[in-house]
Amino acid sequence: MKSFVRRPVKKPPRPARRLGGLNKSALRTLEILAALADRRDAVGVTELSRQFGSTKTLVHRALGTLLEQEYAVRDRSGRRYEIGPRVLEFLDSGSPDPDISMMSLAAMRELNAISGESVMFGIPVEHGVTAVFGIDGRWPASGRIPRGVLIPAHASAGSRAILSMYSDEEIEAYIRQALPLKRFTSRTITDPVELRADIAEIRRLGYAFGRGDFVDSVRTLAFPLADADGRPHGTISVIFLAERFDQDNVTKRLPDYLDVIGRLQLELRCYFASSPVLTELPQI
């Protein structure tokens, strides 16, 4: 399957076309589909209505058609819209499925350049996450990337980022099976109520934060990577040593981190998530 390679270039919105004698409903639907494909974030009915000079009712109708046919999907809020997985039918079905980790490599290099810190790519494995490869930080002492170690779903920012992409029912099943939640440091979340609250915050913010919950000396900023249905591809984590961690600077650079992840997510959401089997790790 060929991947969608999108350049990090801002494009002006597509203008509404003159409909002439064409089927206005069909053309409007195609224009809205093209607008969804052009964006790296979800869009609302009001924005689309303004862009195409159309009423909200007509935009709703077009979106309804796209949703029904799976060419569009709602985001997690249920009020905004994104390009859907069925666009993959236009690609060459004879091509191999993409390597999600390699598709994420350019974004990881950007995050490494922004932060100067180690960046890790992890995949969901059983009831947790495993780091499969990473890029080391530029400092002599940088956060260590625990490749191949299974981290339980509650125990780190990266694993909770993945946990946040599962349904509430699946999360409750994990909590029941994992109780009592294992403690790794004094900051590990072991209270189910606190874990549920943290997951809700991750879903709201789009990232997870770890304050030495798996390794005392490490602070972690982790970003969930999902397909169009919200199922987990994996997670990218930026790993800071506690002694060099600056909360104010991280908060200041968050828009840059989220911009990088947003561009990657636009591409990854076009592929159905599956449990990857890595036969060869990327060479960095």
The residues spanned by each domain of the chain are: 24-90, 100-268
CATH class belonging to 24-90: mainly alpha
Contacts of 195 (CB under 8 A, 6+ apart): 154, 160, 175, 181, 189
Q: Is 98 helix (H, G, I), strand (E, B) or coil?
A: coil
Contacts of 17 (CB under 8 A, 6+ apart): 27, 31
What are the φ and ψ backbone dihedral angles of 147, each rounded to 5 degrees?
Answer: -60, 135
Mean pLDDT, consecutive 10-residue segments, the chain of 284 residues? 36 46 76 80 87 89 87 81 71 58 89 92 86 81 66 94 92 92 95 97 95 92 90 93 87 94 87 55 42
- 1's tokens: 């399957």
Q: How far apart are CA 172 and CA 153, in angstroms?
A: 12
pLDDT score recorded for residue 161 = 96
Q: Is 156 helix (H, G, I), strand (E, B) or coil?
A: coil
The fourth-level CATH superfamily of domain 100-268 is: GAF domain (3.30.450.40)
pLDDT score recorded for residue 22 = 52
Pick the closest to residue 40 from 267, 205, 275 (CA basis). 267
pLDDT score recorded for residue 12 = 46
Pick the closest to residue 224 from 240, 201, 247, 245 (CA basis). 201
pLDDT score recorded for residue 252 = 92
pLDDT score recorded for residue 171 = 92
Pick the closest to residue 131 from 111, 117, 148, 152 (CA basis). 148
Q: Reading across the β-sheet that carries 232-241, which strands appear in turn? A: 150-152, 128-135, 118-125, 232-241, 218-226, 208-211
pLDDT score recorded for residue 91 = 52
Q: How far apart are CA 214 and CA 222, in angstroms?
A: 13
8 Å CB contact between 134 and 120: yes
Pick the closest to residue 158 from 110, 213, 208, 226 (CA basis). 208
8 Å CB contact between 189 and 154: yes
